Structure 1
Amino acid sequence: MTPEPVPTPADPEAWNAYLAEGNATQPRKRVAADLLLRDVEGRVLLVNPTYKPGWDLPGGMAEANEPPEETVVRELREELGLEVVVRGLLVVDWVAPHGPWDDQIAFVFDGGTVDWVDQLTPHDDELSEARFVGVDEAGGLVRGRMRRRLAEAVRAAREGQAVYLHDGSVCP
């Protein structure tokens, strides 16, 4: 029995159907995007999620077909009412499967430094609090992988060099 020929771009309809079939069988990854936003004193903005223990960088999960840099802008607008500008990439962290979760890719973008520190009020029930804290204090508020990711993001911002991590640790 001769296998059916693979469609080619010469037949766009068949070609797109062939590619869509392949796309449907590819693995999907969750994507998270956070923002490192500092004040003029060097403190970092952290948020306290209501749905998990420990503090976190502000941000969240990407929606389908949403670029990570747009994710973080949307999340800060929705959760804190802030309009932020993404100033570059600081961290890409591949997070291994854990608990019930498959692996994911987590981005940390640079939000730069702001000269205002208003009383930040969460705009939805996903956050109980948001505040600027010193980097040392932040390390005590965030947990495990996020603690390492935050430290690397601060270092990357200082050195002007983005870093790639595995589970919050620098790859060899």
Structure 2
Amino acid sequence: MTTTPRPGAPGWTEYLAEGNARQARKRVCADAVIRDPHGRVLLVDPGYKPGWDLPGGMAEANEPPVDALRRELSEELALDLPVQGLLVVDWVAPHGPWDDLLGFVFDAGTLTAGQAAAVRPRDTEELKGCAFFTPAAALPLLPDAQRRRLEQALAALTNGRTVYLHNGIHPW
């Protein structure tokens, strides 16, 4: 029987590395709710999948979700916005060829009229377009999981409480 090394003892770092190599990894996405002065929500039209989406994207290895969001907003829309808070954490079950995922939705605030008018896709290979929609008009444009996530994010903006979801639905 092998004993677990004590912290700082010889073999401790190797013991931790072995545990790290065996533990599950999670994919992470980070999206934003960005509004214009009229309360409309910014959606993006990705060229690599059908339908509209919230601005944001996938985190890179060892990248914090909020940093992933900032990077994606800069790369895709040339936006540098202060993230104002976390609205939603959504655990998404494995589906198709994909393992599970943790989806974060952050509040990226309200743009001025001038900022909103100037928003354009910077990465035209990844985004076909972007536009502001009223929440009622935005929700039907989104795939089911993203629609549920946006509904909950808008509710979190109203009541000031971050929401935890499983596949876009409250688990309790």
Instruction: Place the TM-score, normalised by the shorter chain, in its bin.
Output: over 0.9
The CA deviation string for residues 36-66 of structure 1, in whole angstroms up to 9 with x for no partner, is 0111111001000111111000000011111
Q: Secondary structure at the match of 2:11?
A: helix
Q: How does 1:118-133 map to 2 (within 5 A)?
A: 118-124=117-123, 125-133=125-133
When the two chains are superposed, the root-mean-square deviation of aligned CA atoms in Å is 1.0
Which residue matches 2:80? 83
Is structure 2 residue 145 aligned with structure 1 residue 145?
yes
- How many angstroms apart in 1 are the aligned matches of 2:121 and 2:171? 35
Q: How does 1:95-106 map to 2 (within 5 A)?
A: 95-106=92-103
Moved over 4 A (4+): none
Which residue matches 2:169? 169
- How many angstroms apart in 2 are the aligned matches of 1:145 and 1:166? 10
- How many angstroms apart in 2 are the aligned matches of 1:47 and 1:99? 23
Unaligned runs of 5+ in 2: none
Which residue matches 1:60? 57
Which residue matches 2:154? 154
1:158 Cα offset (Å): 1.1
- How many angstroms apart in 2 are the aligned matches of 1:40 and 1:148? 23
1:102 Cα offset (Å): 0.6
- How many angstroms apart in 2 are the aligned matches of 1:53 and 1:119? 25
Is structure 2 residue 3 aligned with structure 1 residue 5?
yes
1:23 aligns with one of 20, 44, 56: 20
Q: Secondary structure at the match of 1:154?
A: helix
The CA deviation string for residues 6-52 of structure 1, in whole angstroms up to 9 with x for no partner, is 221242x5101110011000010100000001111110010001111
1:4 Cα offset (Å): 3.0
Paired letter, 1:110: D
Q: Secondary structure at the match of 1:86?
A: coil
Unaligned runs of 5+ in 1: none
Give the alignment's TM-score, normalised by structure 1.
0.95
1:152 Cα offset (Å): 0.6
Count of aligned positions: 169
Q: Percent identity?
A: 55
Q: Secondary structure at the match of 1:170?
A: coil
2:106 aligns with one of 88, 92, 109: 109
